[in-house]
Amino acid sequence: MHELSLIQSLLDIVDEYAARHRFEKVNCLQLSFGCMSCIDPKSLEFAFDVQSKGTKAEGARLEFDIRPAVIYCFSCEQEHEQQHYSGDCPQCGGRQVTLTGGTEELKLVEMDVD
Ligand SMILES: [Zn+2]
């Protein structure tokens, strides 16, 4: 489960931020990642619950902004968003497509703190 190491690096960022900005606790963490990045939100939440114990982020709410897959189709010469990447173009059915979005790694977008 690579969510454990993702959450660990996230908590490291929170720690570093807390040292610089001196807040008491984290209320909410806004995270974003691509739907093709093999990250499971449920596993993330579980890992966060376990690993945030005793840190300033304990009890914080997680919000996910999951980016859709975006493909570029060489036949239509256009980009299309897809919730589920199927390997072909949703518009013309062409198979000459390349993935241009949806593989974004986990990113901390915003942090609400007290
Ligand atoms: Zn197409």
pLDDT score recorded for residue 90: 92
Print pLDDT tens along the chain (114 aa): 689 999 999 999 999 999 999 998 999 999 999 999 989 999 999 999 999 999 999 999 999 999 999 999 999 999 999 988 889 999 999 999 999 999 999 999 999 999
Neighbours of 35 (CB within 10 A): 18
Distance 5 CA to ligand 1 centre (A): 38
Distance 36 CA to ligand 1 centre (A): 20
Q: How far apart are CA 35 and CA 40, in angstroms?
A: 9
pLDDT score recorded for residue 1: 64
Distance 99 CA to ligand 1 centre (A): 13
Please give the residue range of the domain that contains residue 91. 3-113
pTM above 0.95, yes or no: no
Distance 68 CA to ligand 1 centre (A): 17
Distance 72 CA to ligand 1 centre (A): 8
pLDDT score recorded for residue 79: 97
The domain that holds 9 is classified in CATH as: 3.30.2320.80
pLDDT score recorded for residue 85: 86
The total number of structural domains that make up the chain = 1
* CA neighbours closer than 13 Å in the CB half-sphere of residue 64: 17
